[in-house]
């Protein structure tokens, strides 16, 4: 029996203070990996008006200039004037970085073969995939992210010259669910809150956002006369960036993943090298989930992995298809075990996670991206028991 419900996801721009910190942490990670692929990095960033603080543990042979990296990231975001809430030229940069604990190093990777390195910490990670979009991602998340990326494009190309770097979006969709399988019906509500110049009226903002953002992003077949729009619903949004709110690495973990769908183990990604299973384990779980849906074994799926510090093999694997699978979950777990090596060292090797590719993950989401560097987004061709092949689904959004 079909049932209808609403679900909402949000996204934030690269100029949001928390995302600014994510980008800085990942830029420092990339700088280390570019010179030393075996770098071990746990880098946090905090920001408030005129100040950026970098702290954490880094063990590397790389020689990096942290203040230079920080200012470069802030400049690329668009904060080049205090009137915008921040200025890369005049901000203070403080660094408090030490080496990784020797206790952790000995337990995780010292004197171990590449394939046998242990997990950098205990934890649980989730991967999700659904056939409701070509990205195999929740459509609420896809659309909220595309709104943000379109805002960025309009600002950088001067299409809407009054735009400033800090912005947020939110999309509510009406869904139909039949036996766990989801079908998007219509967009119920969109919300866009964006920082802007002081000399633009609310009417100009609403008109520009409707014509250049909403109409360019939201598919016409999902729009109707009842769709609600809220453009800068609080009124004025001139003061933004770190001047408006403090920022911190790792506070946008739902934006980074699936927009509230599935589940989240709580571990953030940015600033962490891939010996930390918060990152590599979550990427692997997404790879597994997308591969299962792509193969036609289910319409949507949630994969959970768990690890213990210093132990290479996952402690547990759980596969939940929400009733959309063609076989029992235990059979899917067997398929996962046969097709994927989930030891951190092998995840790092297969997905190429020692490459300096992480700064670009920090804006626009870590999943659902069409980027050749994001190997976890390319489904693996699975070895599937012969008796299941006639039952495989033809998954199309």
Residue 106 has pLDDT above 70, yes or no: no
Burial of 390 (0-12, 13-18, 19+ CB in 10 A): exposed
DSSP symbols for 70-119: HHHHHHHHT-EEGGGTEETTT-EEEEEEEPPPHHHHHHHTTT--GGGPPB
Give the residue with greater pLDDT, 115 vs 248: 248
Contacts of 57 (CB under 8 A, 6+ apart): 40, 41, 42, 97, 98, 99, 100, 101
pLDDT of 214 reads 99
In this structure, are 96 and 33 located in the same domain?
Answer: yes
Residue 109 has pLDDT above 60, yes or no: no
pLDDT of 328 reads 94
In this structure, are 223 and 256 located in the same domain?
Answer: no
pLDDT of 121 reads 86
| Residue % of the chain over a pLDDT of 70 | 97
Radius of gyration, CA atoms only, the chain: 22
In this structure, are 280 and 325 located in the same domain?
Answer: yes
In this structure, are 256 and 294 located in the same domain?
Answer: yes
Beta strands in the chain (DSSP E): 3-12, 40-48, 51-59, 80-81, 86-87, 92-98, 123-130, 163-178, 181-196, 228-231, 247-248, 300-307, 316-320
pLDDT of 61 reads 95
Pairing of strands 80-81, 86-87: antiparallel
Residue 111 has pLDDT above 60, yes or no: no
Confidence of residue 105 (pLDDT cuts 50, 70, 90): low
pLDDT of 70 reads 99
pLDDT of 115 reads 73
- 380: domain CATH number? 3.30.300.10
pLDDT of 396 reads 79
DSSP-derived letter for residue 18 is H
In this structure, are 292 and 370 located in the same domain?
Answer: yes
In this structure, are 239 and 281 located in the same domain?
Answer: no
pLDDT of 116 reads 73
CA distance 208 to 313: 52
pLDDT digits (tens, 9 = 90+) for 361-385: 999 999 999 999 999 999 999 999 9
pLDDT of 114 reads 73
Asked if residue 144 is part of any domain, the answer here is yes
CA distance 191 to 147: 10
pLDDT digits (tens, 9 = 90+) for 71-83: 999 999 999 998 8
| Residue % of the chain over a pLDDT of 90 | 92
Residue 155 has pLDDT above 60, yes or no: yes
pLDDT digits (tens, 9 = 90+) for 174-207: 999 999 999 999 999 999 999 999 999 999 999 9
Considering its fold, how many domains does the chain have in total?
3
Asked if residue 118 is part of any domain, the answer here is no
Residue 219 has pLDDT above 60, yes or no: yes
Residue 90 has pLDDT above 90, yes or no: yes
Q: What is the mean predicted confidence (pLDDT) over 221-230?
A: 98
Confidence of residue 6 (pLDDT cuts 50, 70, 90): very high
Asked if residue 397 is part of any domain, the answer here is no
Asked if residue 71 is part of any domain, the answer here is yes
CA distance 19 to 249: 7
Place of tokens 């299973």: 277
pLDDT digits (tens, 9 = 90+) for 113-132: 777 788 888 999 999 999 99
Q: Which token pair is 264?
A: 């989240």
In this structure, are 254 and 374 located in the same domain?
Answer: yes
Asked if residue 183 is part of any domain, the answer here is yes
In this structure, are 75 and 45 located in the same domain?
Answer: yes
pLDDT digits (tens, 9 = 90+) for 302-353: 999 999 999 999 999 999 999 999 999 999 999 999 999 999 999 999 999 9
Place of tokens 């699975």: 382
Asked if residue 171 is part of any domain, the answer here is yes
Query: Domain boundary residue among 113, 146, 172?
Result: 113
Asked if residue 236 is part of any domain, the answer here is yes
Positions marked active-site? 16, 18-19, 44, 57, 168, 237, 245-246, 251-252, 272, 276, 278
Residue 24 has pLDDT above 70, yes or no: yes
Q: Which token pair is 85?
A: 């809430």
Asked if residue 270 is part of any domain, the answer here is no
In this structure, are 100 and 40 located in the same domain?
Answer: yes
Contacts of 200 (CB under 8 A, 6+ apart): 162
Domain span including residue 188: 3-8+138-243
Sheet holding 163-178, edge to edge: 3-12, 163-178, 181-196, 228-231
In this structure, are 94 and 145 located in the same domain?
Answer: no
Sheet holding 51-59, edge to edge: 92-98, 51-59, 40-48, 247-248
Residue 85 has pLDDT above 90, yes or no: no
pLDDT of 120 reads 80
pLDDT of 102 reads 62
Contacts of 87 (CB under 8 A, 6+ apart): 50, 79, 80, 81
N- to C-terminal Cα separation, the chain: 20
Q: What is the mean predicted confidence (pLDDT) over 153-169?
A: 98
In this structure, are 151 and 178 located in the same domain?
Answer: yes
Confidence of residue 101 (pLDDT cuts 50, 70, 90): low
In this structure, are 25 and 152 located in the same domain?
Answer: no
């Amino acid at each position: 029996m079909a049932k209808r419900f609403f679900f909402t996801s949000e996204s934030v721009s690269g100029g949001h203070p928390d995302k600014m910190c994510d980008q800085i942490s990942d830029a420092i990670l990339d700088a280390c990996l570019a010179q030393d692929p075996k770098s071990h990095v746990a880098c946090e960033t905090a920001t408030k008006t005129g100040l950026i603080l970098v702290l954490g543990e880094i063990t590397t042979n790389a020689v990096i200039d942290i203040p230079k990296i920080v200012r470069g990231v802030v400049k690329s975001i668009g904060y080049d004037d205090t009137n915008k809430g921040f200025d890369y030229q005049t901000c203070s940069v403080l660094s408090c970085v030490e080496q990784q604990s020797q206790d952790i190093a000995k337990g995780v990777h010292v004197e171990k073969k590449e394939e046998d390195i242990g997990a950098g910490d205990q934890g649980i990670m989730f991967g999700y995939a659904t056939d409701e979009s070509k990205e195999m991602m929740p459509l609420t998340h896809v659309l909220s992210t595309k709104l943000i990326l379109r805002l960025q494009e309009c600002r950088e190309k001067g299409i809407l010259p009054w735009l400033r770097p800090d912005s947020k979006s939110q999309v509510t969709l009406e869904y139909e669910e039949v036996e766990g399988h989801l079908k998007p019906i219509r967009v119920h509500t969109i919300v866009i809150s964006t920082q802007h110049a002081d000399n633009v009226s609310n009417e100009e903002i609403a008109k520009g956002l409707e014509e250049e953002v909403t109409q360019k992003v939201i598919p016409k077949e999902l729009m109707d006369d009842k769709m609600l729009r809220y453009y800068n619903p609080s009124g004025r949004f001139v003061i933004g960036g770190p001047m408006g709110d403090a920022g911190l690495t790792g506070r946008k973990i739902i934006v980074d993943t699936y927009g509230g769908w599935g589940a989240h183990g709580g571990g953030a990604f940015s600033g962490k090298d891939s010996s930390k299973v918060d990152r590599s384990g979550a990427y692997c779980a997404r790879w597994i989930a997308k591969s299962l849906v792509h193969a036609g074994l289910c319409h949507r799926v949630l994969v959970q992995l768990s690890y213990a510090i210093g132990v290479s093999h996952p402690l547990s694997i759980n596969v939940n298809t929400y009733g959309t699978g063609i076989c029992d979950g235990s059979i899917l777990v067997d398929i996962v075990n046969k097709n994927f090596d989930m030891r951190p060292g092998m995840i790092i090797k297969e997905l190429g996670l020692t490459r300096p590719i992480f700064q670009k993950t920090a804006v626009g989401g870590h999943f659902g991206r069409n980027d050749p560097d994001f190997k976890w987004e390319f489904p693996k061709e699975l070895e599937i028991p012969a008796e299941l092949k006639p039952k495989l689904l033809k998954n199309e959004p």
